[in-house]
C-alpha cells in the first residue's frame, strides 16, 4: 500500500466533498431567496385584490 498515494486520494476526496457541499449550500440559498420572492409576489397580489376586488377575479373564454 502506497501511503503517499493514499494520502493524495483522501485529499482529493475531501476537496471534492467540500466543493459539493459548497455547491449545495449555494443552491439552498438560491432556492430560499426564490421562495421568499414568491411569497412577496403572492402577498402583493393579495394587496392588489383588496384594493381592486373586481379585477383579475375571472377570465372570459370563447370557444
pLDDT digits (tens, 9 = 90+) for 3-20: 988 999 999 999 999 999
d(CA 36, CA 40): 6
- Is position 62 within any domain? no
In a domain, 61, yes or no: no
Is residue 24 situated within a structural domain? yes
| pTM for the whole structure | 0.60
- pLDDT digit string, tens, across residues 31-44: 999 999 999 998 88
Number of domains the chain contains:
1
Pairwise CA distance, residues 56 & 22, whole Å: 42
Three cell numbers written together for 56: 383579475
Cα dihedral sign, 40-42-45-49: negative
Which domain does 15 fall in, by range? 1-52
Note whether residue 25 is domain-resident: yes
Provide Rg for the chain, Cα atoms: 26
Amino acid at each position: 500500500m502506497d501511503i503517499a498515494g493514499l494520502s493524495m486520494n483522501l485529499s482529493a476526496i475531501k476537496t471534492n466533498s467540500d466543493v459539493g457541499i459548497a455547491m449545495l449550500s449555494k443552491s439552498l440559498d438560491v432556492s430560499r431567496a426564490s421562495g421568499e420572492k414568491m411569497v412577496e409576489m403572492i402577498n402583493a397580489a393579495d394587496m392588489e385584490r383588496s384594493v381592486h376586488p373586481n379585477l383579475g377575479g375571472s377570465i372570459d373564454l370563447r370557444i
